[in-house]
Chain A
């Protein structure tokens, strides 16, 4: 087995660098389309949860609880194997996008819900009292205010979805982790365990670290801005 400092092993990785980049590309594609699906599901369910209509809120709650309280791995296996054996094979890329989208949709839904709930009730009332119907209320007045509360945790979701593509390994995906594994166990390429996983990890880090730093910087500047305008909430309740 080649050690960490074996030039031979590092050289092998350099020769097969295209393979790693292909894995990265597959991971990025699964994450990007998965995110798109997660956004659609999440915004929809977030609106359901805050609609004030009980049946819709229940649907959103059940979805979120069910998805958040079962493992992503299980959901992937279910989508891939259970459907494959019933004759509806989806293919590995579609499985990845669907399962990641469904899973992260539940988290995005909670982020959206929290963002909407953070807008003071008076804003909904003012919009209603002007005669804004539900769509106008949400899109002109509420969501533009929630967006700054939604964005930082949303960026964290992007980081998570990117890392969670690694679960595709369980159904034999072509993502970065799966490809790394095939590489280190492959007949002609095998052996360079440590360098391969280091490189793979570095690629993840190079994408995720800037994103999560962005998220935390965003959050900090948000808190600062709120601190500055916080003075206006200091109202005296005056009883005559």
Chain B
């Protein structure tokens, strides 16, 4: 479904991704963890060309992504949930949800609204359809952002630290929605610091540091028997005793 082949990324002189190779299968739930500055966000952002790789190849759904076809390919295959939600503040929640389906997927307004209400039910916020996003709490905004991503009905959803900007008491409501989603046949790539979530949901966990993938495995192997020293010390620091 997603394949990164020898992907390198430079920001000026900074070598952020070093020959990253990674494959994600259809329906797989992949969690990427690692310290900040390890290149995990950049990796996910290369999957929809929010960052164009400096070299290497990205294949989505069997097609190589280039700067020419990226918009079409992204529209067809991927959606994204951001750390800062990035809801459109000048539109109501409903308008946020129907905008792309109407403008880009040529759905009728009725179809798009039906879809929107369906996914608002999924995230449990149907009653917020007509309010503006800024009146909602962070957790609610992020659930709306997830509903907006679902309205795109793409096979892939990318999550870039979806709970990192949230107040602690609203993190769980967002994670609960994501756990429910994980039961569907959606390919999910999640950058997160939520280890409990990773353990519960991931088919595979990847540890990145210094722009490289240092270890990968099933959650059990990964968390209970880490081999890499960097990973051991990382887990030691973030998992509360």
Contact = CB atoms under 8 A, between A and B. Distances in A.
Contacts of A140: 99, 103
Given A122-B82, A235-B165, A238-B168, A131 B90 contact: no
Interface in A76-92: none
Contacts of B100: 130-132
B238 A240 contact: yes
A15 interface: no
Interface residues of A, number: 24
A187 interface: no
B48 A129 contact: yes
Contact of B134 (A126, A129, A232, A239): A232
A125 B86 contact: yes
A238 B86 contact: no
Contact of A128 (B50, B138, B148, B238): B50
A239 to B, nearest CB: 7
Contacts of B134: 229, 232
Contacts of B99: 130, 140-141
Given A126-B86, A240-B193, A131 B76 contact: yes
B103 A240 contact: no
A126 B71 contact: no
Contacts of B75: 130-131
B36 A236 contact: no
Contacts of A129: 48, 50, 74, 78-80, 82, 158
Contacts of A11: none
A138 to B, nearest CB: 13
Contacts of B164: 237-240
Which 6 pairs between the two chains have the least Cβ-Cβ distance? A131-B75, A240-B193, A126-B86, A129-B80, A122-B86, A130-B100
Given A128-B71, A129-B79, A229-B89, 9 more contacts: A120-B86, A125-B86, A129-B50, A130-B79, A130-B152, A131-B71, A131-B104, A145-B88, A237-B165
